[in-house]
Each structure stands twice: as structure tokens, then as C-alpha cells.
């Protein structure tokens, strides 16, 4: 059994391996390094490169001369790829990229600066360079950038037997393919057949009788997020890409779609937290600061709005100082409640479960939830104000402020992302700050305002 | 070109369709309803069912008698599946589940209550029931629950020609398969070959010479999160599943892995926001309240800790009331900074980019970022305190408190999730509350404490 598991990337094993690699680097022992890295999948070597510091990384790349290939460059995280390509000798990079399929070259190229892009384009053979440049001509984050140009096609009138003979006679099939795409005489795809069906059907069966129900195409200019959505919604394995005239220009496979899905999720999560989209655990101090300062700064401005609101009630606080201790409770409960509805809304917008059609129902539900949660905590706070602090009217103020703020929080949590989405903005990007500002301002204002009216 | 796009699920189109469906329901027009729903992919019909209210849903299921099949049941979101199965007549459910492959039945069964599970198991044929019950015997969220039992295998000594003859002669191949798995005489898988390679290699080529490099197996008891990780890390399309003796028991395909990945992401996002894992936009008021109350309650407790801290400084605030207006600024800046590092850390733990090996480097970076961001905003706040409020010493207090809180926030944001992860908890689950409590308490204490010492 052990041999089946030798490749398995287990965390303890990865950590022991990293220690061994560091030792080999320390001893400048090229043989030991080779023995450690050679059996690994490029994805695991890339992870290893990401986990060591820049100095060690350069040492490793120098000591492990023969090891860098196209697959490894593809697997390395964007956050350190530029650095690695800058460091590697030009001929190593050139040889590495020449091995890759064009979609992988495009993927690498996208995140590089101009001189490095030139370096890589210059290394490619003419036909590949033209293909890569054409792909780079499609908008960033579009299907055209994701697709591979290597496709397996057959005329739509062929039979299973003709397709098998053609496939078995062909010596230029791509490494990985799962479907044969049927083309009409004008090069427009009309369906596709899985290899499994081709292998199990009778030779005389017309291909068009065994095409897949789930067949769909995307346009080269479609956003990659839509492509990922289609793969997930319809359980696709591959999807033909067509140009504006409906002619086949390439194919996208599910592993690319899975990557996009993962990136979209990451982006939503980082944006919700107010961190730059492309932040990564590998970033240096400077990049990290750059990605975090903007939202800290915006928060500073919005926090000052809250401070201004509180400032209006200075004389109330001066007379009943305990209000200062209690007011953050109201504000922070609103913040939590707002974040809760907000997260559900952002997620539902991303998965297209929240649409114009059901928005009103969801808004009504949020209002009800806000009111009921508000009342529950209002009773708790009211009792606490009365029994613990011995001030029944303070209890009433706390309770009313809590109801008001939780209702506002629930509604802001759903209405702010919906509005941003309608206006064409990414709801994950700015919702958090908006909603927190609303709940802080409303929380402080309601609590201190009620206190001024009812307690003074 | 239009015909290629007829199936495309565009949001405007979906919304128009929903309106038409509602009209058909209102008019009890079964024919119109049939005409609208029949051309749709089951995934789109399921989305439609999720977007209408329970009353309309029951009306639709009644009016559209012939339409409910196994695929539709599979596609319906867990949040309404129980309700739909409760509502449908037993014989409709029975017929629907009989069409499904066993892994899809397991997927449906998992989320149902006892009586509905019985109802479905009772409807299956004996062989399928045994297979489903065996799968349900594996732990929840394990590879055994995800896998399908239908596999395509060949003895490892076969040639391409033998494999092709076998596949073409077989009439029990699964609907979708991408690899032929090679078995040794003890039924242990030793590699797999893609159908594309089988179709393009010479008949005499031994299968074991064209096996895929990326081949890996998982154990039936492995957690599904590990399975999703392996699919993504190694770009797999399918992966054989083995029992504790290394014998083949099934296969997992990438569409299942993609679903798991999506669910894991959703879980992280919901947990970070303090909402129950299984919350959904379709939940009713009661479920929504149930999923949100726990974290609101915990936040109430931690907010009271902050209130107690502030309470200690009542006399300070009584003497300099403006402190009450300024203290939330320090706390909220800490909250934002803490959330930022926390999100990066939780994400990096999920993608296994943050490990023991690089934790110290990341902690040092966070400390540096906290200090530098803290200083930048300290200068801003210090100047504001001095120039706007005309109180130079208040500026110094604001600046010092800001530096302290942003440093603490950055460190708490990384150390709390790391510690939770080490202790075997999901870092996404509780980190947020911990970190916010720390930044609130430290923020209020540092600011008011410094003010007491330096300003009174």
C-alpha cells in the first residue's frame, strides 16, 4: 500500500521535506537537493519555493540548475513569479516556456512587467508567439485568455467509426482532451461527444446522435467569472470558445475553470475584509502595507464621522458618564448583525441566488430577523440596565437603541450590496465599510439621542 | 449564431422567465408552465424553485406533474430539498431517485431526516440500496460519501488494443468517465490512462507505458476537503478511491471536487462573518435567526468586557468628555487591521500556504506592517489632536494608542488563527470574535489608560 501514498502531500511530510531542503541549501549540497526535489510534482516544488525566503529561493534556483522547467514556472504563485523570472538566466526561462502550451504561457505572461513579457515572447517559436499575442489581445480576465487553442474536432456528419479512425491516425492530439467537438461546414461548433461515448457506441452510429445534453459554448470575450459559473452550474468538463461570428477558436477545460472559481472566492473574501485583491501570504512588508492602507484610511474617515456624532452629545455624556461605556455595545452589536446579513448577501449575489426576483422577499426576511433579534437583545439589555445598573430608564434606552440598530443593520446588510451590485460595482468591495459606518453612526446616534431625550 | 446561445443562462433572461413562470402559476396554466420549464437544464429549474416562495413552489410542483425527476432533486439546494421531498407524493420521489447513480442518491440522503431517508431507501432496488447504505457507512464529509462506485478498470498487463476491444464490447460503461484504471491481481489500482491516450496510441502499446504522471489515490475515509485540495493541487480530472487495504472501491470525479471546494469556501466566508455554516439566502426567518443569534450573543458578552474596561475610566471621561468621542476611532482602526491580517491568515491556512515552516516569517512581517501602519496613522491622529482639537498632549495619547493597537491587531490577526489551527479548531470559526475583542479591549484600555496618566 505504501507505494500508492508515496506521492501524497501530507503536511508533516511537507514540513520534514522543507527542513531537509534547507539543510541541503545550507550545505550547498546539489545532489541532496536534486534527490529531494526530483520526485516531487511541480505544484509541490512551487509551494516549497513560496515557503522559503527570497535569499534561500535564489540559492535553490542556483544550486538546482537543471530543475526549472515550464511546469514549475506555471505552478509558481504570481506573488513570487516575477522575482523568480528576474533571477533566472534568460536561456533557462526561454527553454522553460518553449515547453508549455500557449494557454499556460499566456497565464504566466499576464502578471509580468513589460521587459519580462518581451523576454518570454522572444523565446517562443514564431507560430506560438503569434498564438500567444492573439490571446493577449483578448481583454484581461476573459475566456480568450483562459482557453487553449489546441482542439480536437470532427465534421458533424461523421460516424463513430470515422472519428475513431481519425483519432487513431492523428499524431497531433493535445495532451489532455475529453471531447470531440463537432463542426458545421462554416467552422461553427454544433455539439460535442465524450470520448467515453465514442468508445462505447457502435461504429455506424452518427456522432450527432450521441452528443452531450450539457453542451454549451462561451464567447472569447466573455468574462472568466461567467465561464466558471457555467462550468459549475452545468457540471461541464470542457467548453468550446467561439468568436463573435460563432466560429470555434479554442476550448476551456475544467481545471482552468476551477482555478478561476478559486480566485473569485479569494477575491470576495479579501475584498470583504478590506484587503487588496491580490494580497498573499508571500507578500513583503511593503506590498502588504500598500494593500491594507487604503481601507484603514477610509475607515479612519468613517470613524471620524462616528466621533462627530458622539461629539454632539458631549454634554449628555458629561452628565451620565456610564453612557460612554455602554454605547460601544450597541454599535458593535449592529456591526456584527450588519456583517452577517452582508456576507449572506454578497455570497448569494456571487452565486446568483439573489436576484431582482427574490430581493424583496429577502429584504422582508432581513427586516423580520433584525426586528426579532433586536427585540431579544433589547429585552436582555433592558433587564441588565434595570437590574445590574439599577436604572430602569437606562434599560429602556438601551433596549430601544438595540432594536433600532439591529433593524437598520439587517437592512443595510442587504440593501447596500444589492445597490452596489445594481450600480455595477462589486458588492464585496465596499459594502463592509458602508454597512459598519451606518451601524456605528445609527448606533451612537440612537443611543445617545434617546438618552438625551429620556434621561436628562 | 443565436441557436448556440439559446441555452445560455443570462440574468435578464432568467428574470423574464421567472415572471412568465409566475404568470403561468397564477393562471394555473399547466401547458404554459411545461413550455417554459421543459427546455431548461435541471440546474436552472432548481434555481427557479429556490427563487420563488414556498406557496408558489408547491403550486409549481403540483401543476408540473411529469416534470420532477432525479436530476432535478439532485440540483435543488439543500435548504429547500427536505421541504420539496416532504411535499411530493411518495411514488414521484421513488421514481425520481431510482434513475440516479448511487453517489447522487447519497448526496440527497445525507441532508434528509430519518423518515425521508427511509422513504428513499425503500424506493431503491436491492443492489442500489446496499450500495447506498455502504456509502452512508463512511464518515460524513469523507471521500467514501463523494465517490461513485461505477468504475472502468483493466488488468495492468493489458495493451491499448485489448483495452479498446474491451471498452467497445462492454455495455455497462458509466455515463461519464475519463480514465481506465489499471488494477493488479489483488484489485489494487496501480495507475490510470486517459481515454485520449488510449485513442491515440498504437494498439500494441502496453497500458502501463502510457499511464498519467499526475495519478494519485485517496482513501475512502479521507476528509473531502483533502480530496478537493488534491484535485486542485495536481490538476486531476478523476481520482480512484481505495479501502484500508489499498483495494479499489470507487472513483471521484472533478465535478464533485469542485462542489466541495465551493462549499469549503462558503463555509470559511460564513464562519468568518459569524453566521452558521449552512445559512443560505433561502432560509426562513426562524432558521436565519437561529444561525445568527449565537455569535450575536457571544459578541454581547465580549462587548461587555469592553464596556467594563471603559467603566474603569469613568472619572477620566467625566473630566475630559471628548475622550468618549475619540476612543471608538482607536478601537475601530484596530478592528479593521485585525480583520485584514486575520483574513489573509485564514485564507493561507485553507490553501496550506501558511505552515509551521513559514509562520515565524509571516508573524515578523505582520509585526512590521502593524508598526509601520500604526506609526503612519499615529502621526495623522497626533497632528489632528494637536491642530484640530488644539490639545498637543491629546495628540500624543492618540498617536501612542494607535501604534499600540495596530501592532496588537496585526499580531492577534495572525496568532489567533494559527493557534486555533494548531489546536485542531477551524480558524475561520472563532478568530473574528477573538481578534475583535482583543483590539477593542486593547484599544480602549491603551487610549483611556494613557489619557489618565498623561492628561489628568
Nearest to B233 among A9, A177, A304 (CB): A9
The residues, ordered by sequence, that sit 6+ positions from B148 with a Cβ below 8 Å of its Cβ are: B101, B102, B103, B174, B250, B251, B252, B253
- Tell if the CB–CB gap between A269 and B347 is shorter than 8 Å: yes
Q: Residues near B213 by Cβ (< 8 Å), separated by ≥ 6?
A: none
Which residues in chain B have their CB less than 8 angstroms from residue A11's CB? 352, 355
pLDDT on residue B7: 37
Q: Is residue B193's pLDDT more than 80?
A: yes
Position A2 scores a pLDDT of 33
Q: Tell me what pLDDT residue A127 has.
A: 85
How confident is the model over B10-23, as a mean pLDDT?
85
Q: Where in chain B is the domain with CATH 1.25.60.10?
A: 2-141
Nearest CA in chain A to B184: A1
Q: Shortest Cα distance from A122 to chain B (angstroms)?
A: 29
Location of each CATH 3.10.580.10 domain in chain A: 153-272
State the nearest Cα–Cα gap between A9 and chain B, in angstroms.
8
Range A2-141 has CATH code 1.10.645.10: no
Determine contact: A62 vs chain B, CB below 8 A: no
Range list for CATH 1.10.357.20 in chain A? 285-455
Print burial letters for A394-413: b (CB count within 10 Å at least 16), e (below 16): bbbbbbbbbbbbbbbbbbbb
Cβ-nearest to B281 among A11, A303, A362 = A362
Contact B348 A232 (CB under 8 A): no
Helix, strand, coil distribution of chain B in percent, nearest 5:
70, 5, 25
Q: What residue has cell string 460612554?
A: A324
Task: Give the residue on B whose Cα is nearest the Cα of A261.
Answer: B262
pLDDT the model gives residue B443: 96
Averaged pLDDT, B226-245: 93
Percent of chain B's residues with pLDDT above 70: 98
The residues in A 15-34 lying below 8 A from B, measured between CB atoms, are 15, 18-19
A-facing residues of B in 280-309 (CB < 8 A) are: 280-285, 288-289, 292-293, 295-296, 299-300, 303-304, 306-308
Task: For residue B181, report the phi and psi dihedrals to the nearest 5 degrees.
Answer: -90, 130
The pLDDT averaged over each successive group of 10 residues in chain A (456 residues) is 40 84 92 92 91 89 87 89 89 87 86 86 88 90 91 95 91 84 95 92 93 92 92 92 95 90 86 80 85 90 94 94 94 93 89 82 90 94 89 93 95 93 85 89 96 93
* Class for the domain spanning B285-455: mainly alpha
| Digit-coded pLDDT (tens) for B56-76 | 999 999 998 778 889 999 999
Positions of E strands within B338-399: none
pLDDT-based confidence at residue B6 (cuts at 50, 70, 90): very low
CA–CA dist B256, A205 (Å, integer): 31
**Out of A11, A14, A235, whose CB is closest to B255?**
A235
Residues A129 and A411: their CA atoms lie apart, in Å, by 53
Which pLDDT does position A273 carry in this prediction? 84
- Residue of chain A minimizing CA distance to B348: A281
ipTM score: 0.85
* Whether the Cβ atoms of residue A178 and residue A194 lie closer than 8 Å to each other: yes
Q: What proportions of chain A, in percent to the nearest 5, are helix, strand and coil? A: 70, 5, 25
3-state class (DSSP) for residue B263: helix
Position B4 scores a pLDDT of 34
| β-strand partners of A11 | none
Q: Does B6 touch chain A (CB under 8 A)?
A: no
Predicted local distance difference test score (pLDDT) of residue B8: 40
The alpha-carbon gap from A41 to the nearest alpha carbon of chain B, in Å, equals 8
- Three-state DSSP class for A97? helix
- B242 lies within 8 A of chain A by CB: yes
B261 Rama class: left (phi>0) / alpha (psi -120 to 50) / beta: alpha
Residue carrying the nine cell digits 495519478: B215
- How far does A227 lie from chain B, in Å, by closest CA? 11
Distance CA B444, CA A364 (A): 37
CB half-sphere exposure, B338, CA atoms < 13 A: 29
Question: Are the C-beta atoms of residues B300 and A379 closer than 8 Å to each other?
Answer: no
CA–CA distance, B282 with A85 (Å, rounded to integer): 48
Give the model's pLDDT for residue A3: 33
Q: What share of chain B has pLDDT > 90, as a percent?
A: 54
- Beta-carbon separation of A328 and B310 below 8 A: yes
Q: Does A343 touch chain B (CB under 8 A)?
A: yes
pLDDT in the model for residue B159: 96
Which H or E run contains A413?
Answer: helix A392-422
Query: Whole-angstrom Cα distance, residue B27 to residue B33?
Result: 10
Q: What pLDDT was estimated at residue A5? A: 35
Radius of gyration over alpha carbons of chain B, in Å? 29
Name the grid cell of B421: 489551527
d(CA A231, CA A226): 9
pLDDT tens digits for range B376-415? 999 999 998 899 888 899 999 999 999 999 999 999 999 9
Closest CA to B290 of A116, A217, A373: A373
Supply the CATH classification number for the domain B153-272: 3.10.580.10
Output DSSP code: residue A67: G
Residue B128 confidence (pLDDT) above 60: yes
Quick one: pLDDT at residue A183?
A: 96
Residue among A3, A321, A372, A399 with most chain B CBs within 10 A, to mutate: A321
Amino acid at each position: 500500500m505504501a507505494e500508492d501514498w508515496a506521492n501524497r502531500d501530507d503536511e508533516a511530510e511537507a514540513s520534514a521535506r522543507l527542513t531537509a531542503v534547507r539543510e541541503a541549501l545550507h550545505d550547498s549540497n546539489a545532489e541532496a537537493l536534486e534527490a529531494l526535489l526530483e520526485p516531487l510534482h511541480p505544484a509541490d516544488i512551487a509551494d516549497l519555493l513560496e515557503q522559503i525566503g527570497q535569499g534561500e529561493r535564489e540559492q535553490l534556483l542556483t544550486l538546482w540548475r537543471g530543475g526549472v522547467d515550464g511546469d514549475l514556472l506555471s505552478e509558481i504563485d504570481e506573488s513570487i513569479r516575477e522575482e523568480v523570472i528576474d533571477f533566472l538566466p534568460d536561456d533557462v526561462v526561454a527553454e522553460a516556456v518553449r515547453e508549455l502550451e500557449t494557454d499556460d504561457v499566456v497565464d504566466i505572461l499576464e502578471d509580468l512587467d513589460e521587459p519580462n513579457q518581451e523576454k518570454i515572447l522572444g523565446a517562443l517559436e514564431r507560430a506560438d508567439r503569434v498564438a500567444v499575442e492573439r490571446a493577449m489581445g483578448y481583454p484581461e480576465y476573459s475566456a480568450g485568455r483562459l482557453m487553449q487553442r489546441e482542439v480536437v474536432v470532427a465534421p458533424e456528419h461523421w460516424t463513430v467509426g470515422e472519428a475513431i479512425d481519425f483519432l487513431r491516425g492523428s499524431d497531433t492530439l493535445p495532451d489532455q482532451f475529453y471531447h470531440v467537438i463537432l463542426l458545421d461546414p462554416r467552422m461553427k461548433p454544433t455539439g460535442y461527444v465524450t470520448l467515453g461515448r465514442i468508445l462505447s457506441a457502435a461504429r455506424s452510429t452518427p456522432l450527432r446522435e450521441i452528443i452531450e445534453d450539457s453542451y454549451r459554448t462561451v464567447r472569447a470575450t466573455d468574462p472568466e467569472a461567467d465561464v466558471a459559473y457555467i462550468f459549475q452550474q452545468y457540471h461541464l468538463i470542457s467548453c468550446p470558445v467561439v468568436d463573435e461570428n460563432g466560429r470555434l477558436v479554442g476550448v476551456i477545460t475544467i481545471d482552468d475553470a476551477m482555478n478561476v472559481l478559486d480566485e473569485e472566492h479569494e477575491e470576495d473574501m479579501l475584498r470583504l475584509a478590506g484587503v487588496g485583491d491580490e494580497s498573499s501570504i508571500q507578500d513583503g512588508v511593503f506590498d502588504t502595507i500598500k494593500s491594507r492602507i487604503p481601507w484603514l484610511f477610509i475607515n479612519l474617515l468613517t470613524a471620524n464621522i462616528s466621533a462627530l456624532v458622539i461629539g454632539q452629545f458631549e454634554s449628555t455624556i458629561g452628565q451620565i458618564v456610564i453612557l460612554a461605556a455602554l454605547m460601544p455595545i450597541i454599535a458593535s452589536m449592529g456591526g456584527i448583525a450588519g456583517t452577517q446579513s452582508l456576507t449572506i448577501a454578497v455570497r448569494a449575489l456571487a452565486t446568483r441566488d439573489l436576484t431582482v426576483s427574490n430581493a424583496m422577499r429577502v429584504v422582508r426576511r432581513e427586516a423580520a430577523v433584525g426586528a426579532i433579534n433586536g427585540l431579544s437583545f433589547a429585552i436582555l439589555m433592558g433587564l441588565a440596565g434595570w437590574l445590574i445598573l439599577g436604572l430602569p430608564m437606562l434599560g429602556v434606552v438601551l433596549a430601544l437603541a438595540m432594536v433600532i440598530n439591529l433593524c437598520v443593520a439587517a437592512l443595510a446588510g442587504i440593501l447596500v450590496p444589492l445597490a452596489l451590485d445594481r450600480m455595477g460595482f462589486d458588492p464585496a468591495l465596499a459594502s463592509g465599510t458602508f454597512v459598519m459606518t451606518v451601524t456605528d453612526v445609527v448606533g451612537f446616534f440612537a443611543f445617545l439621542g434617546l438618552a438625551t431625550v429620556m434621561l436628562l
